Amino acid sequence: MLIAAAVCPCPPLLVPEVAAGAAPELDGLRSACAEAVRALAAARPERLIVVGPAEPARRGPHAQGAAGSFRGFGVEVDVRLGAPAAEVVSGGDGAAEGRPAPSLPSSLAVGAWLLEHAGWDPAVPVEGLGVGEPLEGERCIEVGRELAGRAERVALLVMGDGSACRTLKAPGYLDERAAAFDAGVARALAAADTGALAALDEELAYELKAAGRAPLQVLAGAGAGARLKGELRYDEAPYGVGYFVASWSS
């Protein structure tokens, strides 16, 4: 049964080394994410599942200890899902010696980074699930229900962004529908309204480049009937992309 959830955005810019000189611009967002992860830990789950959008090659389940990397963004930062930070020795070709090849999609790598820097207890099992934008809403709901049934006390860390069309300089340019779409997501997260998340318009989300639609609908399925309370910790659109941080708790 789902006993707690956190929702966080998944831009690699959350990792300060990736953001470089722009890192201070997202300090408030990082702080809100850290608080949400600590709230997850306080719920004392038996199992944590990190859910986020993924490209086709990296969809599906990822076991605890799965490797992720931000080397594609020009920084030597590696993570492992649900495992404490380990010293990494780099070979001459830039590959990490003694570590598995990165398999995590970037969204789950950001989630792993958040867990690592919040001091997640490695004794609590963590697994990941990469889901694709094409996954239909009904199937997302079914997946969420399956995840919630994996233990008596399940927690989810849901990684996903809102629309990417809030300003002229946004990745998807300005779309006048984006603000209303994001406002609806924010209301649903604040109220832990699984029905509203389940009803998100898939076509509109696609047009607005809302990468978090499928993960949010997985959360809707997992939380259905759980009677959790919601708290919206962050709702802004830096860089023209809707970012939300929320906590659901019993």
Q: What is the mean pLDDT of the chain?
A: 92
Position 91 scores a pLDDT of 37
CA distances from 191 to 3, 31, 129, 232, 247 (A): 15, 21, 25, 8, 10
Q: In the predicted model, is pLDDT for residue 95 greater than 80? A: no
For residue 101, pLDDT beyond 90: no
pLDDT of 192? 98
Q: Do 189 and 244 meet the contact criterion of CB atoms below 8 Å apart?
A: yes
Alpha-helical segments (H) within 86-209 = 106-117, 137-148, 178-191, 194-198, 202-207
108 — phi, psi (to 5°)?
A: -75, -30
Residues 59 and 132 sit within 8 Å (Cβ to Cβ):
yes
Task: Inform me whether the pLDDT recorded for 204 exceeds 60.
Answer: yes
Question: With bands split at pLDDT 50, 70 and 90, how would you rate the model's confidence at 100?
Answer: low
How high is the pLDDT of residue 85? 47
Task: Give the model's pLDDT for residue 99.
Answer: 59
CA distance 164 to 169: 10
Q: Given pLDDT bands bounded at 50, 70 and 90, which one contains residue 84?
A: low
Question: Which whole number is the average pLDDT over 152-169?
Answer: 97
Higher-pLDDT residue of 87 and 165 is: 165
Helix then strand count (H, E) for the chain reads 8, 11
Segment 188-203 shows an average pLDDT of 98
pLDDT higher than 90, residue 89? no
Mean pLDDT of 156-169: 98
Please tell me whether the overall predicted TM-score, pTM, comes out greater than 0.85 for this model: yes
Evaluate whether 234 touches 32 at the Cβ level (below 8 Å): yes
Which pLDDT tens digit goes with each residue over 121-144? 989 999 999 998 789 999 999 999
Domains assigned to the chain: 2-249 (3.40.830.10)
At 237, the pLDDT band (50, 70, 90 cuts) reads very high
Q: Among residues of the chain, what percentage have pLDDT more than 70?
A: 93
Burial class (CB in 10 A: 0-12, 13-18, 19+), 47: middle
Q: How many residues does the chain have?
A: 250
Q: Binning pLDDT at 50, 70 and 90, where does residue 97 land?
A: low
